[in-house]
């Protein structure tokens, strides 16, 4: 049984004061929901303050990025050990990082390896652009991202829970144009799990959680969570509103 996971990607929103306010609204509602792993991924500058507020809450904390090197002259970057001091999770290869910061399957792979070596649970994002979708290239693109992004990892059945994949069609992120639940599920069943099977074997592939991301809202969340291969959601915009994020998390608790 794969435990559902709902993660909020705050992107570049919320000052420390705003983050404290949002977390104080989120914690009671999220704590009341059982059977779902919950994760908040605020900007780096909020992490320490949010970590203090989440202590003992059972709600996990994640970063939105890391560098693969252990340390060095990499101005503006954050190392895996720095992230692991405060977080258990890290989002890797979000489409906004691929699109605006030139991240590739190769850098994603380096980051995933570095995160796992540090004991972090990477939430690895894959997904096709609108042009790729319209050209019927979804399977080709997503299977390449899985194959290269997750190459040369050692994942056993026991550690499969520490690898999370998020399928986020780029055309559905922040656009209000969500993928259909059946369409998203088909990508997971026909492309992502077979890709994971090729890399790690069938048992691991069945244990890795796959989240859907892209305009998930309280009114469509249940549809996704009812699908056989969708194990939760990576939520952007709606994770910035306490009521919406709590409602989405509740929908995952079935």
Q: Is 165 in the site for ligand PEP (CB under 6 A)?
A: no
The token pair that represents 109 in the structure block: 């792979």
For residue 5, the minimal CB distance to ligand PEP (Å) is 13
Q: How far is CA 7 from CA 38, 116, 171, 238, in A?
A: 6, 18, 20, 11
For residue 69, the minimal CB distance to ligand PEP (Å) is 25
DSSP-assigned beta bridge partners for residue 209: 164
> What does the alpha-carbon distance between residue 161 and residue 164 come to, in Å, rounded to a whole number?
7
Q: Which of 28, 58, 119, 174 binds ligand PEP (CB under 6 A)?
A: 174
Half-sphere exposure of 180 (CA within 13 A, CB side): 3
| Residues 10, 23 contacting (CB under 8 angstroms) | no
For residue 203, the minimal CB distance to ligand PEP (Å) is 28
Query: Is 94 among the residues known to form the active site?
Result: yes
Residue (108 or 204) nearer to ligand PEP, CB: 108
Q: Which of 234, 242, 251, 252 binds ligand PEP (CB under 6 A)?
A: 234
Query: Is 134 among the residues known to form the active site?
Result: no
Residue (9 or 181) nearer to ligand PEP, CB: 9
| Residues 236, 213 contacting (CB under 8 angstroms) | yes
- Write down the catalytic residue from 37, 67, 94, 128: 94
Q: Is 35 exposed, middle or buried (0-12, 13-18, 19+ CB in 10 A)?
A: exposed
- Write down the catalytic residue from 37, 103, 168, 223: 168
Q: Which of 14, 170, 237, 249 binds ligand PEP (CB under 6 A)?
A: 237
For residue 230, the minimal CB distance to ligand PEP (Å) is 13
> What does the alpha-carbon distance between residue 104 and residue 114 come to, in Å, rounded to a whole number?
15
Residues that bind ligand PEP in the complex, under the rule CB under 6 A? 9, 11, 168, 173-174, 213-216, 234-238
Instruction: Give the catalytic positions in this structure.
Output: 94, 168
């Amino acid at each position: 049984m794969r435990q559902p996971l709902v993660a909020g990607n705050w992107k570049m929103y919320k000052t420390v004061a705003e983050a404290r306010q949002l977390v104080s609204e989120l914690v009671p509602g999220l704590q009341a929901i059982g059977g779902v792993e919950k994760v908040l991924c605020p900007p780096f500058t909020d992490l320490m303050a949010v970590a203090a507020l989440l202590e003992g809450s059972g709600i996990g904390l994640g970063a939105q990025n890391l560098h693969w090197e252990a340390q060095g002259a990499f101005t503006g970057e954050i190392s895996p050990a720095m992230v692991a001091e405060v977080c258990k999770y890290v989002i890797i290869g979000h489409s906004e990082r691929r699109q605006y910061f030139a991240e590739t399957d190769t850098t994603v792979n380096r980051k995933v390896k570095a995160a796992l070596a540090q004991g972090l649970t990477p939430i690895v994002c894959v997904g096709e652009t609108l042009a790729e979708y319209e050209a019927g290239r979804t399977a080709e693109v997503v299977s390449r991202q899985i194959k290269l992004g997750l190459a040369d990892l050692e994942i056993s059945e026991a550690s499969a829970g520490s690898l999370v994949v998020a399928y986020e069609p780029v055309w559905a992120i922040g656009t209000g144009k969500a993928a259909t639940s059946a369409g998203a599920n088909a990508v997971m069943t026909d492309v992502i799990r077979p890709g994971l099977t090729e890399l790690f074997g069938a048992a691991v592939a069945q244990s890795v959680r796959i989240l859907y991301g892209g305009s998930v809202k309280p009114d469509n969340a249940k549809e996704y969570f009812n699908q056989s291969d969708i194990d939760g959601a990576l939520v952007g915009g709606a994770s910035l509103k306490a009521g919406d994020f709590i409602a989405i998390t509740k929908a995952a608790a079935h």
